[in-house]
Structure 1
Amino acid sequence: MTALTPLQSRPATVHSFMDAGSVRQCYERLLHGPDDADKQAVAQAFLQQCVGQAAALPLELPDTPTALQTWVEQHSAGVARQYAEYLERRKNAGPREFFTCKAHALYFLQAVAPTKLVDGAWLYGVLKHWHDHRFEGLLSTYLEELGDGNPSQNHVVIYRKLLAEHDLSDAPDIEDERYLQGAVQLALGYGGDEYLPEVIGYNLGYEQLPLHLLISAYELTELDIDPYYFTLHVTIDNASTGHAHKAIQSLLQLMPMEADREAFWHRVTLGYRLNDLGQGSRTIIESFDLYREVLDMLERKRPFGQHMHSDYCKFEGKTVNQWLAAPGQLEGFLTALQNKGWIKRHEDPQNSRFWTLIEGAGAAMFGVFSPYEKQLLHDWIAGDWTQEGAKKSPRRAHGAACEPQMPIEDPDVQSLQQTLRGQTPDAQMQTLMPWLSARCHSHPAGLLATRRFIELKSALR
């Protein structure tokens, strides 16, 4: 490993990645393109700013790493107790506490997608230490995030599948700040050994089991949304033998023996606090306003529909085209639709003429709204009726029931196989590692590369 440079001696960044719109730009730059020196420079400049912000956040960790195991056990016990209390409230006819309706849950899945689609990326940089036993805990954690090359266990593949099931792949613009945690993870993966203490600390924080994961999984199931991505993390992040346990062991393995252990631990605590930057899951869940989302969605569609309607039907003296002609009129239009009886709030949406125009066989506006957009309208119209109906909705079996098939003729797979032929095992390891990056590992060649990397690692040790 290279020597650790004190944080305060690093050059100041010229451009602030925290400017409006630039966090997503940083995220995209780190996710796409080759693994070159420029990407590492962007990662380190971004991390310098993030670590500076993290230093101002409160610290939850104990004073010394030797107290971590007890701290983790107490944290896990606390989460288990709070979850038991939640289940008791639900058993006693309490309402869902996270997701008010299915649209709310889908909104959440979209909002956290920038983070979930780079799951594990903070550990990408440890691959080059595959021959060093001290990195085994971090390395095995990363490979498990990648599903060990099995597409049905690869976390990004699972989340992409979840988004696709609900047609959320082409989501509307996501707030810039919601790219922050994904950008942090990508930057740590490219930050190099210079940021190793922060990587260890971030890993320690991210792999602790949070209460929101348990509640999310429970309520997604109620709303007939596959919770497998979330339940998978409940099991592998356990404090006994899972990623939470490995995170502690990795820290103890990589702590300096003679160098300044206190300074190293301080930087670990900064890395831990990087988890608290940006909007967390609870904040995103609480930010949902169904009516506002309906209005925003209709406003995005308004320019495409303002000349597409006939003029034979008027609402409070204005045609549909007139209602859609200028921004800021949609709230009044929805009120007009209610006043005329085309929308009947707090009833089965099938009772609303407007709903029958967009959903069902022969609907006049079939295909105009995406499944998520229709869910927003459905849940807003249904209102209180949805809550009553949801209690009676059937559940279905969830989970990764079948493994996606690997494309046999995938050109990247063929190219990688050809490149590996004739290479020495050590040369193969160098060829494989870029395919295990956040950009590549969920694709067929990346999955193949992950499996081959694991085979070679075992054979060469």
Structure 2
Amino acid sequence: MQMLPEWVESNTVRVGRDYGSYLDERKAGGARRYFTSKSHALHFLKSVAPTKLVDGAWLYGLLHRWDDARFGELIRIYLEELGEGLPDKNHVLIYKKLLAAHGCDQWTTLSDAHFAQGAIQLSLAHLASDFLPEVIGFNLGYEQLPLHLLISAYELNELGIDPYYFTLHVTVDNASSGHARKALQGLFDALPQVTDREAFYRRVMNGCKLNMLGAGTLSVIEGFDLREELLTIFSAKCCFGSQMHSDYCRVGGRTVNEWLSDPAQLPDFLENLERAGWIKRHENPENSRFWKLIHGEHADMFGVFNAYERQVIYDWIAGDFADAGKQRQISFRSRQRLLSTLGQGVGPARQNNGAVRGVLREHYSCRGHPSEETNDFNVELRMLEEQLAKLSSRTEAMNMLSGMMSPIAHHTPSGLMATRIFTRLFSNT
């Protein structure tokens, strides 16, 4: 137990050293270590969504301990995962926005292994009273900076994908003043003073090991196969497209409807599209008639494939053309700087009831409040204000607010408002 601070520091040093070696490799002309193409990177974003969309959830069950100083650091971590109620800092909202921007929000059909980590985190969230040491241990392990976070952020940016979700975690998880340090302090603060500390610590270590279950970053990355993903996409379209095509167009002597009537025929269908010149592999996809059918505002098949699916098709057609570096890439940050230069950028007890009302008044006067967005939000948030105003103590207010900050609700307008008020009241405790 006494070696934990050294363990945290040595992990940080090791990750920094390994990341430096990675950067040296890239500067020397080495290939990307993780993502072979943009579609590979997007597939990764989609595959880890079940975990990222419950970010921080394991600490939710500690909110009811808001008046116990031993859990202050751990609760602060949870509040920061929630962006302290600010939409552009809430980790789940940031990730949902990233998925939506690239058509990656259809992830519910992933395998059970992809949901294991999220299920563990939600279980810890709702069983924190029974598994407190495991919650603390899981948090300790999760908040240590991993090498894959740094490399993922670098390569996502390189492929034109906003890396902010990942770079944010690099900064907030730092071992000096961030979550890695707070997680360690949270453990020391919560250690029992009377009961068996060693037994408690063994359970902490078991909780830490829970981080290793389910599909992880590296296994998800290594499991990507571009052609298999292409066939999966086409197979999903078969039930919708097998009766939607006119019979005048034949490929390999068969109509498109006939080809799509059986997903098992898709590999042969793609080969025939190549043979007939509809697809020209290993060339600029703009040279392929099939690509022009699905891409562009006036394309005949506009809207059939979403952004993610089009990227998979594009990368498969490009093949060696992309691998040879003939496609010009512009990083996400370079594009943002260019847009900014062009002027198009966008910047990222009853006696205590008076304190509750004071925070409410100050909060509702803030600019950029979510209630300004729609009338529906106005009504919901006004109802929250009215309910809080009826409460007789800070304890009642904190209990009500914490109920609205669950993993399923904290990123909603009312959940964000509740988080902002809870954060202010917690800071004044």
What is the TM-score of this pair, normalised by structure 1? 0.83
Whether the 8 Å contact between 1:103 and 1:376 is mirrored in structure 2 is yes
- The amino acid of 1:454's aligned partner reads T
- The amino acid of 2:282's aligned partner reads H
Task: Tell me, in whole angstroms, the C-alpha distance in 1 between the residues paired with 2:121 and 2:167.
Answer: 21
2:398 pairs with one of 429, 441, 447: 429
Whether the 8 Å contact between 2:46 and 2:106 is mirrored in structure 1 is no
Whether the 8 Å contact between 2:149 and 2:170 is mirrored in structure 1 is yes
2:357 matches 1:412: no
- The amino acid of 1:78's aligned partner reads R
Task: Tell me, in whole angstroms, the C-alpha distance in 2 between the residues paired with 1:355 and 1:378.
Answer: 7
Whether the 8 Å contact between 1:223 and 1:390 is mirrored in structure 2 is no
* Structure 1 residue 358 displacement after superposition: 0.8
* Structure 1 residue 451 displacement after superposition: 1.2
Task: Tell me, in whole angstroms, the C-alpha distance in 2 between the residues paired with 1:198 and 1:397.
Answer: 42
2:155 matches 1:186: no
- Structure 1 stretch displaced more, 322-331 or 383-392: 383-392
For residues 319-358 of structure 1, the aligned pairs below 5 Å read 319-358=255-294
Task: Tell me, in whole angstroms, the C-alpha distance in 2 between the residues paired with 1:146 and 1:369.
Answer: 33
2:208 matches 1:272: yes
* Structure 1 residue 386 displacement after superposition: 2.0
Whether the 8 Å contact between 1:441 and 1:450 is mirrored in structure 2 is yes
Task: Tell me, in whole angstroms, the C-alpha distance in 1 between the residues paired with 2:195 and 2:415.
Answer: 38
Task: Tell me, in whole angstroms, the C-alpha distance in 1 between the residues paired with 2:245 and 2:20.
Answer: 53
- Structure 1 stretch displaced more, 291-300 or 406-415: 406-415
Instruction: State the SS of the aligned residue for 1:449.
Output: helix
Provide the identity percentage: 52
2:342 matches 1:396: no
Instruction: State the SS of the aligned residue for 2:408.
Output: coil
Task: Tell me, in whole angstroms, the C-alpha distance in 2 between the residues paired with 1:281 and 1:366.
Answer: 33
- The Cα offsets for residues 121-153 of structure 1, whole Å up to 9 and x where unpaired, read as 000011111111111110110110011111111
- The Cα offsets for residues 212-248 of structure 1, whole Å up to 9 and x where unpaired, read as 1000000010111100000000001011111111111
Structure-2 change in CA distance of 1:171 and 1:195 (3 Å): closer
* Structure 1 residue 169 displacement after superposition: 2.4
For residues 179-218 of structure 1, the aligned pairs below 5 Å read 179-218=115-154
Alignment match, 1:38: none
* Structure 1 residue 404 displacement after superposition: 7.3
- The Cα offsets for residues 388-409 of structure 1, whole Å up to 9 and x where unpaired, read as 1455435323899249761333
Task: Tell me, in whole angstroms, the C-alpha distance in 1 between the residues paired with 2:185 and 2:204.
Answer: 14
For residues 9-408 of structure 1, the aligned pairs below 5 Å read 65-171=1-107, 173-387=109-323, 388-390=325-327, 392-393=329-330, 395-397=334-336, 401-402=347-348, 406-408=370-372
Task: Tell me, in whole angstroms, the C-alpha distance in 2 between the residues paired with 1:126 and 1:102.
Answer: 39
- The amino acid of 1:374's aligned partner reads R
- The Cα offsets for residues 289-348 of structure 1, whole Å up to 9 and x where unpaired, read as 000000011001011111111222222221111111123000000001111111111110
Alignment match, 1:25: none
- The Cα offsets for residues 34-73 of structure 1, whole Å up to 9 and x where unpaired, read as xxxxxxxxxxxxxxxxxxxxxxxxxxxxxxx110011111
Q: CA RMSD in A?
A: 1.7
Whether the 8 Å contact between 1:143 and 1:450 is mirrored in structure 2 is yes
Aligned length: 396
* Structure 1 residue 458 displacement after superposition: 2.9
Task: Tell me, in whole angstroms, the C-alpha distance in 1 between the residues paired with 2:105 and 2:293.
Answer: 25
* Structure 1 residue 419 displacement after superposition: 0.5
2:417 matches 1:448: yes
Instruction: State the SS of the aligned residue for 1:283.
Output: helix
Task: Tell me, in whole angstroms, the C-alpha distance in 2 between the residues paired with 1:446 and 1:389.
Answer: 47
What is the TM-score of this pair, normalised by structure 2? 0.89
Structure-2 change in CA distance of 1:237 and 1:342 (3 Å): same
* Structure 1 residue 172 displacement after superposition: 5.8
Whether the 8 Å contact between 1:152 and 1:404 is mirrored in structure 2 is no
Task: Tell me, in whole angstroms, the C-alpha distance in 1 between the residues paired with 2:52 and 2:89.
Answer: 14
Alignment match, 1:28: none
Structure-2 change in CA distance of 1:404 and 1:220 (3 Å): farther
- Structure 1 stretch displaced more, 422-431 or 395-404: 395-404
Task: Tell me, in whole angstroms, the C-alpha distance in 2 between the residues paired with 1:405 and 1:329.
Answer: 53
Task: Tell me, in whole angstroms, the C-alpha distance in 2 between the residues paired with 1:456 and 1:129.
Answer: 14
Whether the 8 Å contact between 2:279 and 2:291 is mirrored in structure 1 is yes
Could you tell me which runs of 5 or more consecutive residues in structure 2 were left unpaired when the two chains were aligned. 338-344, 349-366
Task: Tell me, in whole angstroms, the C-alpha distance in 2 between the residues paired with 1:389 and 1:129.
Answer: 57
Task: Tell me, in whole angstroms, the C-alpha distance in 2 between the residues paired with 1:343 and 1:322.
Answer: 19
Task: Tell me, in whole angstroms, the C-alpha distance in 1 between the residues paired with 2:368 and 2:221.
Answer: 31
